[in-house]
Structure 1
Amino acid sequence: MSLSFSEIAHAHKDFIQHTLQSFEEQLLPSANEDAELVTRAMFSVRNQAIKPPHYSRFSQILVCQVQDVNTAEVTINFPEQTISCSCPKKDLCRHQLAIILKLSQYFISLQQWLSIWRSKRSVPLQSLASERSPENWQMMADEVLNYAIKGPQPLEPYTLSGLIENIRTKLQRHRPYEQEWQELFNLFMDIAVSKHFLLHAVKTKADLSHHYVQFFLENTLSRIQRSIDTLSKTTRLFATEPFFDAIQKNVHEILFIEKGATAFRLSLYLQFWTKLFNEQKRLKNELALLEQSDDSNTDIELNVVKSIFYILLSSPSQLEQAVETMSENNVEGFIDIAQYALQKDFVDEATVLLKKALPFLQTFVQDNLLPIRRQKFTRKLDHLYGQVQLSDSEELALYSSFGRYGIESFSNYLLRHNRLDEWVGLHQLYPSSIPYLDQCGLKDVVAQSPETALPLYHFYAMEEIQQKSRQNYKQAVRIWRAMKSASKKAGKLDYFTAYIEAVQQQYKRLRALQEEINKSNLLI
């Protein structure tokens, strides 16, 4: 015999209460769509539109049908704690809410729940959207954000993506219809969401280094960059100026948030001031604000930030003063400034920054930078320094600072200067693999001086032999084939033949190796 709704509700009270609370947090009273969803769910409960339940005691799965325009089937898997509906709506729908309310009525008052939920409504989003102004847009954002992100506890990182997507969906419903306003709306709301999240994270002492949080910040920055790129290529309407003023204010406040997500905040700030806010008046006003600010309350050094304004406003003397404060702790910020300067064709200013950074790079790369970032960062440095003029000693200092994380970059430097013997020595000092050698320019070395590469082939072949497996012996033979080709180009085929005979004699007890050598016809 199937259980009644009352029996099912009391058997799974915790899950039902938790699900109702989760739905309540997703539904915003100020949003007309959410208010209608709740009203229609309550209507289904009150008008007996929910058919008797089908419940399996063994599997603890509940299936209910809700009579609607089309009958919908809601399934609750209590062991897996999931709820789904057969209707086309992918996320929370009125049918799921109706079933949860139907089950909840056995231990709460639905009328009281509805009254409390509606009491949280302040200004309807639709009325704010109808009168377009930066103040109304900010109120819309605050209404949604204050409802969704609240409380003294930090957000759970694994819920962050879904939560932010729900917030954006609610805001997107009120995006202007005019195409010329849509990208500005997207940018305004992304900045508002970022600011609110960061302030809440600082207040609740959240871990902003968590990989889920970093993923969210990277995606947000990418969205903002796309909006900035689009807006920077379109003509601004006079009516949009107040909105850009409001965005500028929020971006400034994000920069001066007490701490956390430093790279995100700095990158976000620089994106605006190097791509979107390029009017001289704006630049001067923002620099004046920075000059008056105290950097003791933020984890971003203002001299780094002010450098981009000195570059954009052509103030070389002030730039030189700011650069004097460079150290291992802030060198990455100055490197970012140099990158933006090069994008704007301020090559001389970028050269000043990059040359000043040279003495700090080795300590920063080898000690301060996280290991997972070192190789990517050295490639970035190689690209940036490749755009400015360096002396031989400065180039050598640059590539020496990379250590093992810049082998590819140093290899290219040695090739450019035709220092092939040193190239070979580098790859003996830092063993890798033949495919990586090809990536670093082995073919170029063989083409220019094939005899130079012969010791390298020997070195890597011996590395394979030491592993003492047939698979490694096969790899050693492949290396010897390449060595044979290089010997032929160098006119030293007799040397190669004598070399292989010596190897056979030295390792005559390795039967598998002997077989692989004989099968390869290396001596023919």
Structure 2
Amino acid sequence: MSSIPEHLLEPLDFAASELKDMLSPRIEEDERLVQKGLLLFRQRLVSQIRFDGTNISGVVQDVMPARVLLDLDYINLSECSCPADGFCRHQLAVFFQLLSQATSVMDWAADWRKPLKESKAVQLLGLQTARDLLTSSSRQKPDYDRWVAAFHESFTAIMTRNGEPKPYTISELFHIYTRQWKANAPFEQEWKLLYHLIGYFFSFKYLMKLSTELGHSREIINRYYLHLFEDLIQDIVDATEKLSVHSLPFAFDEFIEKFKADSADILMGEFTLDFEQIQIYRLLWAKFFKKKAWCQEEVAKLRAIENKNFPISVGITHQHILLGDDEIALDQLSGTDKWLTPYFLYWLGLFTSHKEWKRMGPYVEEFIKKLREYIHIEDNHYANRSFTNMAIRAIQPYCTEAGRQDLYEKALFELLPYSFSEYEDILFENEDFARWTDLQAMLNYDIDMLPKSRIKVIEKAEPSLLLPLYHQSVQSHIAHKGRDHYRQAVRKLKKLRTLYKKLKRQDDWAFFLEALLEKTKRLRAFQEECKRGKLIDA
């Protein structure tokens, strides 16, 4: 029976898990830190434990007494009176003292070190496999079915030989598997390239299937082995480009037929990384399976599938684009499914590479229609900014070639606020000062944040456009209150007075100031700053 308050059991479990992520047994400094924390705990040097919600205080009698405050909700924000940076041995000692009242400290330490132990086992497996390759490597003769069987046998033997692999061991295991199947590649360069291309495809397929069977979320995949899928996509791009340099020998025909028939397998089933899943299929059909008759057969095959999932639907659209069936493809893309939006990027790149500007136009217009809804799906600034950059690069060649500056500006508007810098630049370059100032006001940017050189240009060309920005800044500073903000407000008011005078609208200025002073008559400090700034009589 634990002596820790029951309401702390769940936060403590969460903190224990967070600490396993914060500290790595592979890092020597972290290993020493845990050892020192365990030593202080075992020597019974932790005392005066106090509970305050999910905050735990304690004293550790080290060379000098250290006072610790653990925050179980945000363990990385915990504090200690010692001069150490980051999480220290005293915080760990208090954590272990607390953990010992609920569960086993030794179990936590053993579980923390487990990834290192398993990683070393994987490394030994890699050394053993490397020795096996040196002594027993047998080159695969050209035989598609034998190649695929060998890929599968090797993947199963290495990836799951000790049961379900842990997420943190998958990358190392996969590299061992890759070295093994590559070592068996044919000697002839052309056959070797084809062997690699097919190997990359099936490696992606097997890893995708394993991820699904293990129930790994996108977060787990992103953290531990997303790079494997990304590398396989790039490997397929490189292999197809190398193979496309020369005419393929007739001996490849049987292999290509079988590979083409298997390609749709990558679209089957639901997978967390559906974009990568679909990208493999699109790359193969755009770069390798190029014959029109093949595309016609494939689209018929995909359409015949009942209960089509999202990847299959995208695959059908892709085939129609390759066939030039733009009316059908655009009809499929014009639906309300916002998740289709990022898939446009590849197709727009395809049109650009072939300089098919006339075909590209309707796709660009459809793409722009979907941008605003898609960009606001998630509140992730960095991801949205990255997508914005890709979207701008995708449409820019067409807009330049076709002279469609209007479409380019529309896209920038739809992508706000993430396209702000590009949009404000183009408005200013076009001397569209009215929309430029409207943009600043819409995004609530204070006039002090804007380039002084641009403010001077607008003040000379159309000074009236600056009035709303100064008014907005005045209201913002007054709302924030405090002497500093009041002084800033008075400085902006004096600038407003100058602008109104320049525009010969002194009556408007007088009316505005009178209304403002009446509205703020209870703000004595602001009224005093107005007197000090000689906006009103003392």
How far apart in 1 are the matches of 2:264 and 2:424?
42
Tell me what 1:191 maps to: 201
Tell me what 1:131 maps to: 141
Q: What is the deviation of 1:509?
A: 5.5
Counterpart amino acid of 2:444? P
- Residue 310 to residue 380, structure 1, CA distance change in 2 (3 Å): same
Structure 1 residues 32-431: aligned runs within 5 Å? 81=113, 126=136, 128-150=138-160, 156-175=166-185, 184-204=194-214, 206-213=215-222, 216-217=225-226, 219-229=228-238, 231-233=240-242, 235-236=245-246, 238=248, 241=252, 244-245=256-257, 247-274=259-286, 276-277=287-288, 279=290, 281=291, 283-293=292-302, 294-300=304-310, 302=312, 304-313=314-323, 315=324, 318-325=325-332, 326-329=334-337, 331-332=340-341, 333-334=343-344, 336-366=346-376, 369-372=377-380, 373-386=383-396, 387-388=398-399, 389=402, 398-415=411-428, 417-431=430-444
Q: What is the deviation of 1:353?
A: 1.8
Counterpart amino acid of 1:269? Y
* Unmatched tracts of structure 1, length 5 or more: 1-57, 60-76, 98-116, 118-122, 518-524
How far apart in 2 are the matches of 1:183 and 1:436?
56
Q: Which has the higher contact order (CA 8 A, sep 6+)?
A: 1
Counterpart amino acid of 2:252? E
Structure 1 residues 190-199 or 393-402, which shifts more? 393-402
- Residue 323 to residue 166, structure 1, CA distance change in 2 (3 Å): same
How far apart in 1 are the matches of 2:157 and 2:285?
32
Q: What is the deviation of 1:345?
A: 1.7
Aligned length: 403
Tell me what 1:41 maps to: none
How far apart in 2 are the matches of 1:80 and 1:285?
53
Q: What is the deviation of 1:361?
A: 3.9
Residues 325-349 of structure 1 show CA distances to partners (whole Å, capped at 9, x for unaligned) of: 3212154234542332223222222
Counterpart amino acid of 1:371? D
* Unmatched tracts of structure 2, length 5 or more: 1-38, 41-108, 534-538
Asked if the contact 2:266–2:278 (Cα under 8 Å) also holds between the matched residues in 1, the reply is no
How far apart in 2 are the matches of 1:149 and 1:444?
65
How far apart in 1 are the matches of 2:126 and 2:177?
20
Asked if the contact 1:341–1:350 (Cα under 8 Å) also holds between the matched residues in 2, the reply is yes
- The RMSD of aligned alpha carbons is 5.7
Residues 381-433 of structure 1 show CA distances to partners (whole Å, capped at 9, x for unaligned) of: 33334324587886676455435344345434533543212211212221357
How far apart in 1 are the matches of 2:126 and 2:163?
28
- Residue 78 to residue 136, structure 1, CA distance change in 2 (3 Å): same
How far apart in 2 are the matches of 1:445 and 1:153?
69
How far apart in 1 are the matches of 2:184 and 2:405?
59
Asked if the contact 2:424–2:436 (Cα under 8 Å) also holds between the matched residues in 1, the reply is yes
How far apart in 1 are the matches of 2:222 and 2:476?
43
Residues 117-153 of structure 1 show CA distances to partners (whole Å, capped at 9, x for unaligned) of: 9xxxxx9994652534433332331122112344999
- Residue 220 to residue 359, structure 1, CA distance change in 2 (3 Å): closer
Q: What is the deviation of 1:464?
A: 6.9
Tell me what 1:55 maps to: none
Asked if the contact 2:240–2:288 (Cα under 8 Å) also holds between the matched residues in 1, the reply is no
Asked if the contact 2:197–2:240 (Cα under 8 Å) also holds between the matched residues in 1, the reply is no
- Residue 415 to residue 179, structure 1, CA distance change in 2 (3 Å): farther
Residues 78-116 of structure 1 show CA distances to partners (whole Å, capped at 9, x for unaligned) of: 79647999xxx987576999xxxxxxxxxxxxxxxxxxx
- Residue 216 to residue 190, structure 1, CA distance change in 2 (3 Å): farther
Counterpart amino acid of 2:288? F
Q: What is the deviation of 1:196?
A: 0.8
- Residue 338 to residue 79, structure 1, CA distance change in 2 (3 Å): closer
How far apart in 2 are the matches of 1:210 and 1:202?
13
Residues 169-206 of structure 1 show CA distances to partners (whole Å, capped at 9, x for unaligned) of: 333444556666665554433222210122233445x2
TM-score relative to the length of structure 2: 0.55
Q: What is the deviation of 1:227?
A: 4.6
Counterpart amino acid of 2:179? T
Counterpart amino acid of 2:358? D
* SS class of match (2:218): coil
Counterpart amino acid of 1:363? E
Residues 431-452 of structure 1 show CA distances to partners (whole Å, capped at 9, x for unaligned) of: 35789856xx889868977885
How far apart in 2 are the matches of 1:202 and 1:365?
28
Counterpart amino acid of 1:418? E
